[in-house]
Amino acid sequence: MGPTSYLTGCRVEDEVFLTPGSRVFNGARIGTRSEVRINGIVHLRTVLPADSTVPIGWVAVGDPVRILPPEDHDGIWAVQKDLDFPGYVFGLDRPADGESLMPALSARFGRALGRHGDDRKI
């Protein structure tokens, strides 16, 4: 990527290699010369230091970062929960046990997408 680029509200520094299928979430920062390999994920508000590699299919989460295999759901969730995806991205509190966040989240997401209804390809 050219000079420092910004994608989906994240910061990607110089000489970063984002492979097809990689995903970078809101608020993430990816350091110079890092690689996020096929299906690798850099999660919300995660800081990936310079010269780091997220292996194929693995998940980078947190600050300081932990790079974990996808089957380590408990390890990923232990860090991810405190990163507060619904609050950071949608301004919503986590629901009480047994309640769903999806109706409120879907409504906000729909409104956000709706703001682009008149966008034109340039």
Tens-digit pLDDT profile for residues 51-61: 999 999 999 99
54 and 22 co-located in one domain: yes
Q: What is the pLDDT of residue 3?
A: 44
15 and 65 co-located in one domain: yes
59 and 22 co-located in one domain: yes
Q: From CA 115, how far away is CA 119, in angstroms rounded?
A: 8
Number of structural domains (the chain) is 2
Identify the CA nearest to 66 among candidates 90, 93, 46, 86: 46
Identify the CA nearest to 23 among candidates 64, 54, 68, 67: 54
The answer to whether residues 40 and 58 touch, using CB atoms and an 8 Å cutoff, is yes
- pLDDT at position 6 over 60: no
62, two tokens: 């947190």
78 and 90 co-located in one domain: no
Q: Strand 41-42 vs strand 59-61: parallel, antiparallel, or unpaired?
A: parallel
68 and 107 co-located in one domain: no
Higher local confidence (pLDDT), 18 or 117: 18
Residue 45 pLDDT level (bands cut at 50, 70, 90): very high
29 and 63 co-located in one domain: yes
Structural domain range at position 20: 5-83
The predicted model gives 22-37 an average pLDDT of 96
13 and 65 co-located in one domain: yes
- pLDDT at position 16 over 70: yes
20 and 79 co-located in one domain: yes
Which of helix, strand or coil describes residue 26? coil
Mean pLDDT in the chain? 88
**pTM for this entry:** 0.78
38 and 72 co-located in one domain: yes
- pLDDT at position 24 over 90: yes
Q: What is the pLDDT of residue 8?
A: 53
31 and 65 co-located in one domain: yes
